[in-house]
Each structure stands twice: as structure tokens, then as C-alpha cells.
A and B are shown apart, each in its own frame.
Chain A
Amino acid sequence: MDSPRGSLGSWELRSIVGNMFPLLVVLCVIVLWAGITLEDAQEMLEQYGILALMVPTMVDMGGNLGAILSSRLSTRLHLGTTDFDPRDRELWANVGAILALAATIFTALAFGAYLLGGLVGSALPLTTLLTIALVSGLSVAVIAVVFSFATTYASYRLGVDPDDTTIPIVTNVVDVFGMVIFIGVSALVLGF
């Protein structure tokens, strides 16, 4: 297609890379903390390989939940429902659904890790796995909810489009919490 270069606007190669790359570097620096936590927990993971099975999900899922809620909240703001009234039952339905999803998914994660544990030759009792997955998972879900409200509201107030900057930041910050809390709770439960 031979559209004149000027009309490409935000689809210009330089503008996509120029806008995106600095944000990516900032996000990397944030998530580096999660990496350092994981490296530090190396001995625990060597002893309990079954925990390694849960790591990618623990890193992603809080961010996924935060992204679902943030995009719903930002759609509400775009549509003109600008108040976060604590008496608004619809808002509480959103929060409740996120927490219910977290409870379901992290229970399924514990069962999944329990079943796959034999495959990697590492086992822990189901109750221990459920405790680790649900305590860390629900804590992360609560953090995801708080951060989604705070950043969606802040970006609305500051006039920034949440889709471009705040949602990636929420997702990555929540990912870090996911890792730090998961490793902390595991160490506590296993007495490491």
C-alpha cells in the first residue's frame, strides 16, 4: 500500500519503537526484583522442584487478574461512569468476581502441581500446596484489585490513556508481588 508517509502517524516505525522502548526498559527494571527473588530462592527450588511448576503461573496470574479489572474499570471511565462510589454494588461485583476467579484458579494450580509433581519427581502434600497457592494467590489478587483502582483513577485524573501506560505498569508491578509473596509464603510454610 502506498500511503504517504505523513499519514501513518502512530503507525510510523520510529514512533512505535521510540514510544515503547523506554517504557519496556523501565518495566524490566521493575520486574528485575522478581528475578532476584527467584535466584535467591534457588536452593529451595532445588529441594522442592514442585514449587518451580507453580512459578510461571504465580508470576502471570496476578497480572492477568489486574489486567481484566483495569480494562473493565477504564472502559467504565471512558463511558462516563466517573465515580468510584463505595456504595456502588456493580463495582463490588467486579471486585468479587476477580477474587472468586483467583480462588478458583489458584485452587486449580495447587491440584495441577500436585498431579504433575510425580512427573518431576517431587511431592508435597495437597494441603501444603493448597495453603501456599491460596494464601499467596489471594494476597496477590487483593494487591491487583487495589493497584487497578489506584492506577485507573490516577490515569483518569492525569488525563493519560490507561491502555497505553498504566495497564502495563499495573501488570508488571503485580507480577513482582506475585513472585515475592509466593517465595515468601513457600519459605514460611516449608520452614526454609
Chain B
Amino acid sequence: MVSIQNLHKKFGKNQVLSGLNLEIKEGGIFAVLGPNGSGKTTLIKCLLGMVIPNKGKISVLGVNVKNGSDYRNKIDYLPQIANFPSNLKVKELIKMIKDLRGNTTLDQDLINLFKLEPFLDKKLGNLSGGTKQKVNLVLTFMFDSPLIILDEPTSGLDPISLIRLKNLIQNEKAKGKTILITSHIMSFVEEVSDEIVFLLEGEIYFKGSISELKTKTNQPDFEHAIASILTDNHA
């Protein structure tokens, strides 16, 4: 599904990714974890072609990321911070993205799911953070793509929306899709993910299932297992 070889990225003097290798097979939910500044978002942006790597090769569904932009038709991406043009209405934004990417009928179901109907005629600048995130989720899930990338999907969501999101993610997984998630909410990661990829200082520190991580670190629960990696490496 996704194959990354020897990925390097530097921002000025700040080496963010240094020789990262990662293979993600088709189907399942993968969580990309790591402390702040470990390069999670950079990695995702490299996959999307928003950040141009200094070195290395990335291919998504067998297509080299450098060769054109059509491969992004196969990716649904949820950006970390929902920054939308503030003078557009929700309805107009959805229509515009549909116009740019091709038509879909899934948007209505998602609008109903997240109860966004009353906000459709409001301008994006006037929405609360949580509502913006719901719009963001609608825009992401309304295209039925085989690869879904979610950068901090839970931020700002209320408990009921969080449950809906989890169901939505499980439904997508059941369809055989590959889902990449980054999050700092460990309970969420533990609940949804099949496999985790732990980034530390621009390299992959651990890749495997949560139970493997617990055995490796000798910790009874997931949150402490993550914490022990961080204290061992930063203490």
C-alpha cells in the first residue's frame, strides 16, 4: 500500500526525518505515534507530496509520489488543524471540493451523521473548533478512497462525535481500507489501531502490535509502555 525507503527531510538546520523506512500493507488501521516534533506530520505531508523530501523514495499504491498528483485521488486526508477559507460557507466548501475531486453522494450521510445540517449556511470563520473538525471529517470521508490518513482526528470533538468517528473508522476498515492515524490520545489509539509505528528522532523506533510493545517494554498497559519509551530515551 505504502512504501517508504530511506526518507530524509531537513527544515533549515532541523533534521526531522533521518533515513526512515516503512512498509504498510493493505488493510487495517495503523497508528503513527511519537513525541512532539518527532516528524509524524512531516511524514504524512511527505506521503501527500506537500513536503518535498531531501532524499528517499515514497510510493503509494505502487506509484512514485514524485510522478504527478493523480495518486492523491486514492487518498483521503484529514489535516491536523482545520484551517479553511473563512469567508466560505460550509455548503460552498463541500460543493467546491466535490467540484475539484469528482462527485460523491456520501456527503449527505456524513452531514447527517455529524448533525451538521444547521451549520451548512454558516461561514467557516464563525464555526467553533469542534464543528470545524466535523466539517473536516465530512470532507475527508466523503470520497471512498482506499487509503485514509487522519492527522489528530479527535481534536475538539465532543464524546458523542468521538463515538461516531470510531464507528466510522471501523466501518471503513471493514471495507478493507488502509487507515493511517496520528494521535496523542493513547486510549483512542489503543482502541482503534491494529498496529503502531513509533517515531523517535526521525526514525522508526518500534513497529508492531500493541501487545508486542507491552512485552518489549515490560509494561502492563499501553500508556505506560509509551511513557517508558519516552523516559528511557529522554531521561
Mutual binders A and B: no
